[in-house]
Amino acid sequence: CLRARVTPRPHDQIINVLRYLPMAILAAVVLTGIIRSIPSTRTQPRLWPENHTGEEDDADAPPQAILPDVGDCLQYMQFVFLTACLSLQYPGFYQPAVSELRWYSFFGATLWVNTYTYDGYNDGIYEINGTFGGTYGTELMTQVVGAPLTIGTWVNMVICVVIAAVAVALLLWIFWLLEIRKALLGILDPVRPGWKPLVSNVTKVILSYFMLPVIALTVYQLDYAGSLPTSHLAFAISLLAAVLAAFAWLVWQIPTRSLGALLFNPSKRYHRLQQHPSSPAGIFDDRNGSDPHIRRAATTDDGIMSAEKQRDRIFVYTIFVTMFIRAAIIGGLQLSGVGQVIALFFCELVFAAYIIGMQPYALVSLGTFAAGMRVVTVGAMIAFLPDMVSESPRDLIAYGILALHALFLIVGFGGSAAYHFVDAAVHRATSKKSHEVYGLRDLQRRPNSHNAL
């Protein structure tokens, strides 16, 4: 061996920071998301018709996201890890630093399949073969983390997804029992039981939170079509078909806004209230009134709401389609690092341009900033192509990318979680002293009687 790239393993304290800091940020985001998902007032649970399809009116869809920012945070961590699995010439420290995010993509060491595993590191040095080219980036990451071979890593991921689905189903079942208990106490109306709501909710959680790594690692199996067993490839293709079929089934069975409730919060959009000069609350007055100006204002408002719902529906589909394309690029184009980084860059650029152009939610939001960060970091990774830049500038660019990711996780998601936690605490403390307040939608749905408030 005349030449070698040697990467020493970082100190245990650095490893602990890289491992537990993202975990703490995600835990804070989840806790804050739970608090923000608790409605301030609720009289009965929302029930979906048994034959409800995506083509029906979405007016009864959830008005706000469930566990807001959790999906964005989890998907961003998965994106940071999976973009370190591209077939590029990363600096030696980049993949080990990002590898601590592998657990959020179910890309871990041997958990369930006892097959041959890579050593990862030995005597304080990472043992990696193929760093001079010709080896897939995901294979190099497998060596860094000390994971099993290609088949074992994929099977471990599938088993982890199944365990996650069972855990979600148990949680939903417990929540259903709690709702039944409240109904027996006369607090709420009884919730309709059935397997269809349970299956749809579990499927929605898995696709919203883990579709990116599942598709990426499954498509990656097809890169070894000439060497892996036929049965394994058949299982991988079957899983891809099952994911697509599950998504199509969700599109048909549940409202579109409910499909994107874990990833999209339309309540953050800026709204414009159109009012008639002669009425201070024109569009919210009784639509059975005789004033033609008010009726025209109400009709205009119906058109605006219909356009917003159509825009929300398209954006929800765009989120999942972009997620699938992103995963297919990461897992399926391992043979060409140039094709990977260019295709991924244009994918992120088009998605960010769509957000800016259509404005499905406020431009000053975590979703918009996350899209911008993806464009910037993937564009910077062009420097990791072979013979693009020398070693020293490549190291500086890698440090810059890591700094941007860390800054966005800490300030973006961590800061947002802290702000919303404090805001919820202040709101809870002050709401006990305030009187009941009716929103515009409540006033719009008020009875026609003149004696009603």
Number of domains in the chain: 1
SS (H, E, C) 20-37: HHHHHHHHHHHHHHHHHH
Cα–Cα dist 28/150, whole Å: 33
Q: The dihedral of CA 289, 291, 296, 298: what is its sign? A: negative
In the block, tokens 């806004």 appear at 257
pTM of the model: 0.81
Structural domain contains residue 52: no
Name, in order, each residue with C-beta under 8 angstroms of 324's C-beta and a sequence gap of 6 or more.
Answer: 211, 215
Going from the C-alpha of 37 to that of each of 15, 41, 368, the distances in angstroms are: 33, 12, 21
Per-residue pLDDT of the chain (453 residues; tens, 9 = 90+): 556 677 788 888 998 999 999 999 999 999 999 888 876 533 334 434 444 444 444 444 444 567 888 999 999 999 999 999 999 989 989 999 999 999 899 887 566 666 677 777 777 787 777 655 668 888 888 888 887 777 888 988 999 999 999 999 998 888 877 766 665 555 555 555 567 888 888 999 999 999 999 999 999 999 888 888 899 999 999 999 999 999 999 888 877 777 777 777 665 554 433 444 444 444 444 444 445 554 454 455 556 567 667 777 888 888 999 999 999 999 989 988 899 999 999 999 999 999 888 877 778 888 889 999 999 999 999 999 988 888 889 999 999 999 999 999 999 999 999 998 998 888 877 765 555 555 555 555 554 443 334
Q: Assess if residue 449 is contained within a domain.
A: no
What residues form DSSP beta bridges with 126? 121
- Distance (Å, rounded) from C-alpha 203 to C-alpha 214? 13
Is 438 contained in some domain?
A: no
Is residue 443 in a domain? Answer: no
Q: Which domain holds residue 110?
A: 12-35+58-430
Q: Does the residue 48 lie in any domain? A: no
Tell me the sheet residues that pair with 175.
none
Q: Is position 293 within any domain?
A: yes
- Would 46 be classed as within a structural domain? no
Instruction: Enter the tokens of residue 124.
Output: 């304080």
Taking a C-beta distance cutoff of 8 angstroms, is the pair 149, 115 a contact? yes
| Residue 18 exposure: Cα atoms within 13 Å on the Cβ side | 22
The closest alpha carbon to 115, from 80, 150, 139, belongs to: 150
Q: In this structure, how many other beta carbons lie within 10 angstroms of the beta carbon of residue 378? A: 24
Residues 327, 221 contacting (CB under 8 angstroms): no
Strand residues in 282-328 grouped as ranges (E): none
Whether the CB-CB separation of 195 and 202 falls below 8 Å is answered with no
Nearest Cα residue to 343 out of 353, 357, 332, 354:
332
Is residue 361 packed enough to be buried (19+ CB in 10 Å), middle (13-18) or exposed (0-12)? buried
Identity at 161, one-letter amino acid code: V
Quote the Cα angle for 6-11-15, to 5°: 100
Count CA atoms closer than 13 A to 46's CA, side-chain side: 12
In this structure, is residue 122 part of a structural domain? yes
